[in-house]
Structure 1
Amino acid sequence: MDRRDRNIGTPAWKGPLSVAALALAGLTLAGCGGMGLGPKDPAESALACPKVSIVRDLSEVTAFRPGGRDLTDLESRAALVDFTGNCEYASDGVTVNVNVYLVAERGPALKGDTAKYTYFVALAKPDDTLVSKVYFDTDVTFPGGQPRAGTKEELAPKIPLPKDANAKDWKVYLGFQLTPEQLTFNRAQMKRQ
């Protein structure tokens, strides 16, 4: 028998999103987070979802054309802006259904209408020992020359736990897979804020 914990939201579909839809989704999620919309049954509350978080240093990616570093060399930038989901307990472990929302902005140096990004989902034990890290490639297409676009990615990492073991102290980390230069750029931008 599967048990569901809806503490981190509910999953939906995968596909392109408008920036307005992403903003609305973010406002809706922010409004529901602290309103006790989790399970009503105390037995279901005992088996909770792991903590899902977007790694701050890896939440954005900025891509410049090779050799460029100023605004005219910007191909695109993207951000992991939010997530929703739930988890399902089964006899062989816990499946964490996560929808990740990505918003991208095209730059003047982007050739074509599509930007490509790589992000990851990492699972960690309660002591922060990394168990797995899986990479995903995604494309964002800017329709009709629009400057912004977004996607929703559906993921389902599985935590291998024995029956009735609680995943509440496990962690799911989301972030872009960055080059050392991109990470340095992100950290420099954060210091300016």
Structure 2
Amino acid sequence: MPMRTFLFLGLVLLLAACNRNPLEVVVSRCPAVAVVGDIGTMTRFAGDGQSQDDVDFTAAITDVRSGCTEGNSVVGEMSFVIAAQAGPALRNRVVTVPYFVAVLKDNNAIVSKKRFDARLEFGADGTASVTETLAQVIPTIEQARRYNYEVLLGFQLTPDEVVFNMRR
């Protein structure tokens, strides 16, 4: 038996032993999770000024992780960190930041949106963080197969805070 044939048969047997087709496509019905660009950060000011000296704190949504369980329904689990840095105008060591979780269907229809509050307690180093964990349920696997779902995260900002973020 020529050496080439022997190597080819060995490769075929090795691939067969893996019991996995390398060309197989796995379709997941799990919703994608993302932070919305201009509203993934928040800068809160003390008073009406917007100078560096007026910054109460700056917060960001980071370290987004997601997982999913598929069965008769689809349950998407997500966790993320809200981290903040104190500014020179911070007076309260404990602040509450509002954020939202929105579920979109086919990238354009908002199926649901829920607002939450995260409590941040600043340490002596001027930083604060909290990990938030949530689950989103798509009631039936048929719905998950028919539509593409995604979960969007962001801070619930005031119009002035949005304008500030867009200018940065």
Give yes or no for TM over 0.5.
yes
Check conservation: 2:75, 2:135, Cα contact below 8 A: yes
Post-superposition shift, 1:44? 9.7
3-state SS in 2 of match to 1:57: helix
TM-score of the superposed pair, with normalisation by structure 1: 0.69
1:76 equivalenced with 2:54 (yes/no):
no
Check conservation: 1:48, 1:167, Cα contact below 8 A: no
Query: Are the structure 2 counterparts of residues 65 and 167 from structure 1 closer, same or farther at C-alpha, using a change threshold of 3 Å?
Result: farther
TM-score of the superposed pair, with normalisation by structure 2: 0.79
1:120 equivalenced with 2:79 (yes/no):
no
1:159 equivalenced with 2:138 (yes/no):
yes
Check conservation: 1:95, 1:157, Cα contact below 8 A: yes
The structure with the largest alpha-carbon Rg is 2
Check conservation: 1:51, 1:168, Cα contact below 8 A: no
Q: What is the CA–CA distance in structure 2 between the aligned matches of 1:138 and 1:149, rounded to whole Å?
A: 11
Check conservation: 1:128, 1:171, Cα contact below 8 A: no
Check conservation: 1:49, 1:96, Cα contact below 8 A: yes
Post-superposition shift, 1:78? 0.2
**Residue in 1 aligned with 2:41?**
60
Q: What is the CA–CA distance in structure 2 between the aligned matches of 1:44 and 1:168, rounded to whole Å?
A: 18
| Larger proportion of strand | 2
**Residue in 2 aligned with 1:97?**
77
Give CA deviations for 1:36-91 in whole Å, capped at 9, x if unaligned. xxxx8999932332211100011100000121211121111100122112011232
3-state SS in 1 of match to 2:145: coil
1:148 equivalenced with 2:127 (yes/no):
yes
Q: Work out the percentage of aligned pairs sharing the same amino acid.
A: 32
Query: Are the structure 2 counterparts of residues 127 and 104 from structure 1 closer, same or farther at C-alpha, using a change threshold of 3 Å?
Result: closer
**Residue in 2 aligned with 1:131?**
111
**Residue in 1 aligned with 2:10?**
none
3-state SS in 2 of match to 1:166: helix
Query: Are the structure 2 counterparts of residues 100 and 167 from structure 1 closer, same or farther at C-alpha, using a change threshold of 3 Å?
Result: farther
Q: What is the CA–CA distance in structure 2 between the aligned matches of 1:102 and 1:181, rounded to whole Å?
A: 21
Check conservation: 2:33, 2:66, Cα contact below 8 A: no
- Give the CA RMSD over aligned residues: 2.4
Post-superposition shift, 1:106? 0.6
- In the TM superposition, structure 1's runs of 4+ consecutive aligned residues that sit over 4 Å from their partners are 40-44
3-state SS in 2 of match to 1:100: strand
Q: What is the CA–CA distance in structure 1 between the aligned matches of 2:87 and 2:96, rounded to whole Å?
A: 13
The residue type paired with residue 74 of structure 1 is V
